[in-house]
Amino acid sequence: MAEKLQLPFSETEFTALLNENRSNEDFVNNLFRNKGNHKLMCSALQEYHRNDGGSPEVHDFEIIRINFTPAILAGRFTCKFRVKYHFTCSDVRNEAGDTIVWDFKMDEGKHVIDITGEEPLVREGE
């Protein structure tokens, strides 16, 4: 199932975005400068790998390919990140890169942004 987040945004930031005084990139990146929001996103990205074994961890991410359509207050961005695995039985550690695409819709009245990640790939037989 796709991961979902709901994050608050400030009226000031929202107005600056709509008036083109703030770029799409700055607006989205600023959401995740907040430590709590950053942690929520890392946890959501980690969830996409929970069935991989090896105690997956995600500590950071980069936001790329940001698109926003002001007329419908919606857009999309991609998170690029590294997943760190530690297989405790064999004491093996490794890493893998991944990207997850997130769609978002802004609720102007509630000052929240609803963010939904892509549906995870499901292997046949799972």
Residue 116 confidence (pLDDT): 97
End-to-end CA gap in the chain: 13
User: What's the confidence (pLDDT) of residue 125?
Assistant: 59
Per-10-residue mean pLDDT, the chain, length 126: 93 89 91 95 92 83 95 96 80 83 96 94 62
Our CA angle for 99, 90, 97, nearest 5°, is 10
pTM greater than 0.85: yes
Q: Return the H-helix or E-strand segment holding 98.
A: strand 92-107
For residue 121, the model assigns a pLDDT of 72
Residue 93 is which amino acid? R
pLDDT at 77: 97
